Amino acid sequence: MDINNIYDNSTAPREEGLTHAPAESNGEDILEGKCPEEDTIDQDSVHEDTIDPDSAQEDAIDPDYLDGDDEADQLYEHHRVVVDKKQRLMRIDKFLLVHLSNTSRNRVQRAADSGFIMVNGRPVKRSYKVKPDDVIQVMLDRPFYENKITPEDIPLNIVYEDDYLMVINKPAGMVVHPGFGNWNGTMLNAIAWHLKDFPQYDINSPEIGLVHRIDKDTSGLLVVAKTAEAKTHLALQFFNKTTKREYNALVWGNFTEDEGRIEGNIGRDPKDRMRMAVFPPDSEIGKHAVTHYYILERFGYTTLVKCVLETGRTHQIRAHMRHLGHPLFCDERYGGDQILKGSNTAKYRQFIDNCFKLCPRQVLHAKTLGFVHPITGQEMLFDSEWPDDMKALMHKWRSYLSSSDNN
């Protein structure tokens, strides 16, 4: 499918007003993230928004090549300031300039424009006047590495492991990295327990560990580096787009074609900072993103597709499919948790409701992961089965289609 057809497609949900969105910021340029502390703000090292191939080991968890269903579903609190009861009214950009070190007013303003500064739980503009007892949060779209991760005895589905890396099949519902509201019970807590006796592994070091992430409610394969050398080599493969990543997704609607290519920049939706939007590829808004899709199975009102990532942006598959007019089934963030196709009968509505209950999450699974082993140079290719909720959902749709054909 040609990208020009995408932007002219009147049936696709339109991203109104996006061409007038402010320049994209991930919030990191405001500060250099440290653990949140009330009233006192300090700085540490920032993780750049784009990875440098010459120093990939410094930060391989990078939004530029995170899987298309990245965990940026949530923002992470890096700083919190509770305004003093005697504080006079003051613009928030001026206020934070006083309370944050190693930043500038311009950076604060850009962060506010991008929705990364919140007051009492809501994003505010740069002109907001700070009031006594306001709770100000500086949010970023990645967790801090300075958090001490506590080992927790949580089962892991380890597909492969050697002295240098491990491949994990993450279940839906498990958060990958501790962050605001999810400090415990994450995959990294489980990895810390599993490798607690491995002498080279320091779970709190950014030089090893996760090479990419997937969202809490997405299931599938992830690779974890156990040494700095392994992480450097794996990070370069993600940066150079030489890894193989294939997803299976159930989306709303039918397709006229059997395969297609989506090219459209991915950036935060200015109307909903928890959601990503698609912008024209020749615009300066968002980041370049390309998804290839292939039809695997048609159910009339829904379609099972294979998505192959050429890039790996935040929510790439979810945002691209929504932009095409095919939101992921049961994807609450992108409108897929409503009946978008089908009849208006009570029987059909009950069927869809039962489907939502059977798999109460976006139906997205990171099925295939391939890369070159960072030490041996061997080609590694891993494939994973669908989780039980997705298997049950596919069986239900096949049964529905079969019964419809017989009527």
Q: Where do the CATH 3.30.2350.10 domains begin and end in the chain?
A: 158-406
Indicate if 215 belongs to the active site.
Answer: yes
Cα 283 from Cα 287, distance rounded (Å):
9
Contacts of 54 (CB under 8 A, 6+ apart): none
CB 190 within 8 A of CB 155: yes
Residue type present at position 43 = Q
Helix (H) or strand (E) holding 325: none
* pLDDT score at 20: 29
Which residues face 292 on adjacent strands? 261, 308
CB 70 within 8 A of CB 215: yes
Within 13 Å and on the Cβ side, how many CA atoms surround 58?
A: 11
Catalytic residue chosen out of the listed positions 215, 269, 331, 389: 215
- DSSP state string for 260-312: EEEE-EEEEETTEEEEEEEE-TTSSSSB--EEEEEEEEE-SSEEEEEEEESS-
Q: Which long-range contacts (CB under 8 A, 24 or more apart) does 16-20 make?
A: 16/271, 17/270, 17/271, 18/269, 18/270, 18/277, 18/279, 18/285, 19/279, 19/280, 19/283, 19/285
Q: What is the pLDDT along the chain (407 residues), one digit of tens a residue?
A: 433 333 333 333 333 333 223 334 444 454 443 333 333 222 222 222 223 333 333 333 333 333 444 444 467 777 888 998 888 899 998 888 877 766 777 888 888 887 889 999 888 988 999 999 999 988 876 665 555 788 999 999 999 999 999 999 999 999 998 776 677 899 999 999 999 888 777 777 777 888 888 999 999 999 999 998 999 899 889 888 899 999 999 999 999 999 999 999 999 898 887 899 999 998 889 999 999 999 999 999 999 999 999 988 889 999 999 999 999 999 999 999 999 999 999 999 999 999 999 999 999 999 999 999 999 999 999 999 999 999 999 999 999 988 876 66
Q: Which of 357, 359, 358, 321 is nearest to 340 (CA)?
A: 321
**With the CA atoms of 344, 346, 351 and 353 taken in that order, what torsion angle do they form, in degrees rounded to the nearest 10?**
90
* pLDDT score at 65: 35
* pLDDT score at 144: 54
Cα 220 from Cα 157, distance rounded (Å):
10
Q: Which of 220, 222, 215 is nearest to 247 (CA)?
A: 220
3-state helix, strand, coil in the chain (%, to 5): 25, 25, 50
Burial pattern 31-41, b for ≥16 Cβ within 10 A else e, equals bbbbebeeeeb
Q: Are β-strands 364-372 and 219-225 bridged in parallel, bridged antiparallel, or unpaired?
A: parallel
* pLDDT score at 143: 60
Q: At what angle do helices 105-113 and 92-99 cross, to 10 degrees?
A: 130
* pLDDT score at 404: 75
CB 235 within 8 A of CB 312: no
* pLDDT score at 373: 98
CA 148, 150, 155, 161 torsion-angle sign: positive
> Rounded to two decimals, what is the model's pTM?
0.69
CB 287 within 8 A of CB 64: yes
Q: Which of 135, 27, 134, 29 is nearest to 80 (CA)?
A: 135
Burial pattern 57-77, b for ≥16 Cβ within 10 A else e, equals bbbbbbbbbbbbbbbbbbbbb
Please give the CATH topology (third level) of the domain spanning 77-140: 3.10.290
Superfamily of domain 158-406: Pseudouridine synthase (3.30.2350.10)
* pLDDT score at 142: 63
Q: Which of 209, 228, 101 is nearest to 145 (CA)?
A: 209
- DSSP state string for 301-321: SEEEEEEEESS--TTHHHHHH
**With the CA atoms of 397, 401, 402 and 407 taken in that order, what torsion angle do they form, in degrees rounded to the nearest 10?**
140
